Amino acid sequence: MRKLSINLPPFAPDYSGVCSALFALGGLLVIHDASGCTGNYTGYDEPRWYDSRSLVYCSGLREMDAILGNDEKFIARIRQAAAELSPTFICFMGSPAPMVIGTDLKGIAAELEEITGIPALGFETTGLNYYDKGISDACLAFAEKFFPAAIAGQTQPGSVNILGLTPLDFSHNSNARDFIQEMEKQGFSVIADFSMESDFQQILQAPFAQVNVVAAKSGLALAQWMEKRYGIPYVVGVPTGTGAAELLAVLIRETMADGKSRALEGPERNEMSAESSLAEQKDILLIGEEVIVRSIAADLYRQKGISGIQPATLFGPIKKLYRQECLALNSEQEIRQAVNSGNYHTVIADPLIKQLIRTDTDVKFVDFSHVAVSSKICWDHAPEIIGKKFNLI
Question: What does 261-277 look like in DSSP terms, one character per residue?
Answer: -EE-----GGG--TT-T
Q: Which element (helix H / strand E) includes 235?
A: strand 234-236
Does the global pTM surpass 0.85?
Answer: yes
pLDDT of residue 239: 98
In terms of residues, how long is the chain?
Answer: 393
3-state helix, strand, coil in the chain (%, to 5): 45, 15, 40
Judge if 45 and 135 occupy the same domain: yes
Judge if 209 and 248 occupy the same domain: yes
Angle at CA of residue 164, ends 294 and 289, nearest 5°: 35
Q: Of 238, 156, 222, 163, which is closest to residue 189 (Cα–Cα)?
A: 156
Judge if 278 and 256 occupy the same domain: no
Q: With contact defined as beta carbons under 8 Å apart, do 324 and 269 qualify?
A: yes
Question: Of 200, 233, 263, which residue constitutes the final position of a domain?
Answer: 263
pLDDT category, 275, cuts 50, 70, 90?
A: very low
Question: Of 219, 245, 263, which residue constitutes the final position of a domain?
Answer: 263
Residues 215-231 have pLDDT tens digits of 999 999 999 999 999 99
Amino acid letter for position 141: A
Judge if 37 and 113 occupy the same domain: yes
Q: Say which residue, 279 or 145, is predicted with more confidence.
A: 145
pLDDT of residue 280: 40
**Domain ranges, residue 26:** 14-146
| Bridge partners (DSSP) listed for residue 110 | none
Q: Which element (helix H / strand E) includes 111?
A: helix 105-116
Q: Is residue 82 part of a domain?
A: yes
Q: Is residue 73 part of a domain?
A: yes
Q: Average pLDDT in the 307-332 region?
A: 93
Q: Average pLDDT in the 87-116 region?
A: 90
- Number of domains, the chain: 3
Amino acid letter for position 37: C
Judge if 287 and 215 occupy the same domain: no
pLDDT category, 66, cuts 50, 70, 90?
A: low
**DSSP alpha helices (H): ranges in 231-326?**
241-258, 290-304
Q: Is residue 182 part of a domain?
A: yes
Q: Is residue 3 part of a domain?
A: no
Q: Is 209 exposed, middle or buried (0-12, 13-18, 19+ CB in 10 A)?
A: buried
35: left (phi over 0), alpha (psi -120 to 50) or beta: left
Q: Average pLDDT in the 89-108 region?
A: 88
Q: Is the pLDDT of residue 6 over 70?
A: yes
Q: With contact defined as beta carbons under 8 Å apart, do 13 and 125 qualify?
A: yes
CATH code, domain with 30: 3.40.50.1980
Judge if 21 and 119 occupy the same domain: yes
Q: Average pLDDT in the 274-301 region?
A: 80
Q: Is residue 76 part of a domain?
A: yes
Q: Is residue 61 part of a domain?
A: yes
Q: Provide φ and ψ at 51, rounded to 5°.
A: -135, 35
pLDDT category, 109, cuts 50, 70, 90?
A: very high
Q: Is residue 377 part of a domain?
A: yes
Which of 140-149, 211-220, 384-393 is predicted least confidently?
A: 384-393
Q: Is residue 141 part of a domain?
A: yes
Q: Average pLDDT in the 240-245 region?
A: 96
Query: Buried (b) or exposed (e) across 59-81, using 16+ Cβ within 10 A?
Result: bebeeebbeeeebeebbeebbee
Question: Of 263, 288, 321, which residue constitutes the final position of a domain?
Answer: 263
Q: Is the pLDDT of residue 380 over 50?
A: yes
Q: Is the pLDDT of residue 133 over 70?
A: yes
pLDDT category, 119, cuts 50, 70, 90?
A: very high
Q: Average pLDDT in the 31-36 region?
A: 85
Q: Where are the beta strands (DSSP E) in 60-198?
A: 90-93, 120-123, 159-163, 189-194
Judge if 243 and 320 occupy the same domain: no
Q: Is the pLDDT of residue 278 over 50?
A: no
Distance of CA 296 to the CA centre of its chain: 16
pLDDT of residue 276: 44
Alpha-carbon gap, residue 79 to 253, rounded angstroms: 47
| Bridge partners (DSSP) listed for residue 212 | 161, 234
pLDDT of residue 318: 96
Judge if 124 and 203 occupy the same domain: no
Distances from the Cα of 100 to the Cα of 33, 37, 293, 308, 319, angstroms: 12, 15, 36, 46, 31
Judge if 286 and 356 occupy the same domain: yes
Across the chain, mean pLDDT equals 91
